[in-house]
Amino acid sequence: MGFLTLEKLSKIYGDLAAVQDVDLAVDKGEFVSLLGPSGCGKTTTLQMIAGLVEPSAGKISLDGRDITRQKPNHRGLGIVFQSYALFPHMTVAQNVSFGLEMRKVGKAERDERVKTMLGLVHLARFAERYPRQLSGGQRQRVAIARALVIQPPVLLLDEPLSNLDAKLREEMQFELRRIQQSVGTTTIMVTHDQAEALSISDRVVVMEQGRMTQIDAPYRLYERPATPFISSFVGKMNRLEGVWRKGAAEIVGVTLPTEAGGFAEGQAIALSIRPEKLALRPQGQGRLDGTILHRFFLGSYWLFTVETPAGPLSVSVPNDGDEPARQGAAVSLDWAPASLRVEALAARGAAA
Amino acid sequence: MSSARATSTPWLLVGPGALFFLALVILPLVLTVILSFHAFDHSSGIKNEFTLAHYAAVLSDDYYLGIFWRTLRLAALTTLICAVIGAPEAYILSRMRDPWRSVFLLVIIGPLLVSVVVRAFGWSMLLGSTGLVNQALQALGFGPARLLYTETAIVIALVHVMLPFMVIPVWTALQKLDPAVEAAAWSLGASHFTALRRVVLPQVSLGMLSGSLIVFGLSASAFAIPGLLGGRRLKMAATLVYDEYMHELNWPLGATIAIIVLVANLLIMLAYNRVVEGRARRTLG
pLDDT for residue A351: 37
- Domain residue limits, chain B: 62-284
Same domain, residue pair A224 and A276: no
* Residue B33 forms contact with A (CB below 8 Å): no
Tens of pLDDT, residue by residue over A167-225, are 888 888 888 899 899 889 999 999 998 888 998 999 999 999 999 999 999 999 998 88
CB B269 within 8 A of CB B212: no
> Which residues of A sit within 8 Å Cβ distance of B?
50-52, 71-79, 81-83, 85-90, 98-99, 102-103, 130, 132, 146-147, 150
Distance between CA atoms of residues B214 and A80, nearest Å: 39
Mean pLDDT of chain A: 89
CB B207 within 8 A of CB B103: no
Count CA atoms within 13 Å of residue A275 on its CB side: 18
CATH of the domain at A114: 3.40.50.300
Interface probe, candidates A81, A134, A150, chain B, greatest B C-beta count within 10 A: A81
Whose CA is closest to B159, among B118, B211, B196? B211
Query: In sequence order, what are the beta bridge partners of A62?
Result: A4, A65
Q: Is A140 helix (H, G, I), strand (E, B) or coil?
A: helix
Q: Is A88 helix (H, G, I), strand (E, B) or coil?
A: coil
pTM: 0.79
Count CA atoms within 13 Å of residue A33 on its CB side: 28
Distance between CA atoms of residues A224 and A208, nearest Å: 17
Chain A residues close to B181, C-beta within 8 Å? 85-88
pLDDT for residue B280: 67
| Residue A253 confidence (pLDDT) above 70 | yes
Same domain, residue pair A292 and A218: no
Question: How big is the CA angle at A316 (ends A314 and A320), to the nearest 5 degrees?
Answer: 155
Q: Which of A209, A233, A257 is the last residue of a domain?
A: A233
Give the CA-trace dihedral at B105, B109, B111, B114, to 10 degrees: -120
Same domain, residue pair A153 and A72: yes
Same domain, residue pair A173 and A267: no
Distance between CA atoms of residues A299 and A303, nearest Å: 10
Whose CA is closest to A136, among A63, A84, A206? A84
* Residue B249 forms contact with A (CB below 8 Å): no
- A89/B203 Cβ within 8 A: yes
| Residue A152 confidence (pLDDT) above 80 | yes
Distance between CA atoms of residues A178 and A173, nearest Å: 9
Same domain, residue pair A127 and A262: no
- A71/B186 Cβ within 8 A: yes
Q: Which of A233, A248, A279 is the last residue of a domain?
A: A233
| Residue A118 confidence (pLDDT) above 90 | yes
Q: Residue A346 — very low, low, confident or very high, per pLDDT cuts 50/70/90?
A: low
Same domain, residue pair A209 and A275: no
Distance between CA atoms of residues B80 and A336, nearest Å: 79
- How close B82 comes to chain A (CA, Å)? 24
pLDDT for residue A206: 94
Number of domain units in chain A: 2
Same domain, residue pair A191 and A278: no
Chain B residues close to A163, C-beta within 8 Å? none
| Residue A231 confidence (pLDDT) above 90 | no
Same domain, residue pair A129 and A152: yes
The domain over range B62-284 is classified in CATH as 1.10.3720.10: yes
Chain A residues close to B201, C-beta within 8 Å? none
Distance between CA atoms of residues B248 and B253, nearest Å: 9
Burial class (CB in 10 A: 0-12, 13-18, 19+), A202: middle
**pLDDT tens, residue order, chain B (285 aa):** 556 667 888 888 998 999 999 999 999 999 999 999 998 887 888 888 888 888 998 889 999 999 999 999 999 999 999 999 999 999 998 888 888 888 888 888 887 888 888 888 888 888 888 888 888 888 888 777 788 888 888 999 999 889 999 999 999 999 888 889 999 999 999 999 999 999 998 888 888 888 999 999 999 988 888 888 887 788 888 888 888 888 888 889 999 999 998 999 899 889 988 887 777 666 665
Interface probe, candidates A98, A140, A142, chain B, greatest B C-beta count within 10 A: A98
Distance between CA atoms of residues A311 and A241, nearest Å: 10
Q: Which domain holds residue A292?
A: 238-351
- Looking at chain B, which residue has its C-alpha nearest residue A52? B183
Same domain, residue pair A101 and A171: yes
Residue A318 backbone dihedrals phi, psi, to 5 degrees = -60, 145
pLDDT for residue A347: 47
Q: Which helix (H) or strand (E) holds A219?
A: helix A218-223
Q: How many CB atoms lie within 10 A of CB B154?
A: 27
Q: How far out from the chain centre does Cα A32 lie?
A: 9
Tens of pLDDT, residue by residue over A299-345, are 899 999 999 888 899 999 999 888 888 888 899 998 888 888 888 87
Q: Residue A233 — very low, low, confident or very high, per pLDDT cuts 50/70/90?
A: confident
Instruction: Name which of B183, B190, B283 is nearest A52 (Cβ-Cβ).
Output: B183
- How close A178 comes to chain B (CA, Å)? 23
CB A313 within 8 A of CB A305: yes
Q: Which of A197, A218, A233 is the last residue of a domain?
A: A233
Same domain, residue pair A100 and A156: yes
Same domain, residue pair A18 and A136: yes
Q: Is B232 helix (H, G, I), strand (E, B) or coil?
A: coil
Q: How many CB atoms lie within 10 A of CB A304?
A: 24
Interface probe, candidates B187, B193, B282, chain A, greatest A C-beta count within 10 A: B187
Distance between CA atoms of residues B165 and B83, nearest Å: 10
Whose CA is closest to A145, among A77, A191, A95? A95
pLDDT for residue A350: 38
Task: Indicate if ipTM > 0.90.
Answer: no
CATH of the domain at A304: 2.40.50.140
Same domain, residue pair A217 and A242: no
